[in-house]
Amino acid sequence: MKKRRILSTTGRLLVFLCLIICFDSCRLFRKRESSNTYPTGRASYNSRTINNIIITARGYTGVPYRSGGNDAGGFDCSGLICSVYSSQGFQLPRISWQQANIGREIEIADVKPGDLVFFVTNKGGTANINHAGLITEVHSEKEILFIHASTSKGVREDNLFSKYWIACFAKATRPF
């Protein structure tokens, strides 16, 4: 008798658990919201915000390169971008190849301040995006400045059309 009662209790428990799973199943299959919402709540992507992003980035000019760095003690390229956008309320991925997948891709002729540029420098022998920068000024079709964290010279601005950078150029995006 006790054995039958135990099975009966176990059976009820199993049925109860199945019902809970069944009623909650829609929650199990719902697409989870990403923690990387673009842009975040308080941010408004406009010319004033873009100007503030550029001013913030330029404020770090001369800060040394530090692999994995994302503060005034040292930056790597994606850390600089992540940090300056974050200062204005935007949340971007931390890694350059992930940043390259945010927003919409644009032609190099259409870049404007606030756009992001990505490069394959082939350091480490990869064919993947491994460097990123932020467009700061567009003077002409062959003089477009971007700020980035250079491994040898720290945070600095360079011309996108310099021999080295244009050869490594992979794509440009408008993040928001």
Report the catalytic residues.
77, 131, 148
How far CA 97 is from CA of 4, 12, 14, 77, 84, in Å, comes to 61, 51, 47, 11, 17
- Phi, psi angle pair for 174, to nearest 5°: -105, 110
In angstroms, rounded to a whole number, what is the distance separating the alpha carbons of residues 174 and 114?
7
In angstroms, rounded to a whole number, what is the distance separating the alpha carbons of residues 22 and 28?
10
Tell me if residue 98 falls in helix, strand or coil: helix
- Whether 132 and 99 have beta carbons less than 8 Å apart is answered as yes
Q: Based on the number of CB atoms within 10 Å of its own CB, is 90 exposed (0-12), middle (13-18) or buried (19 or more)?
A: buried
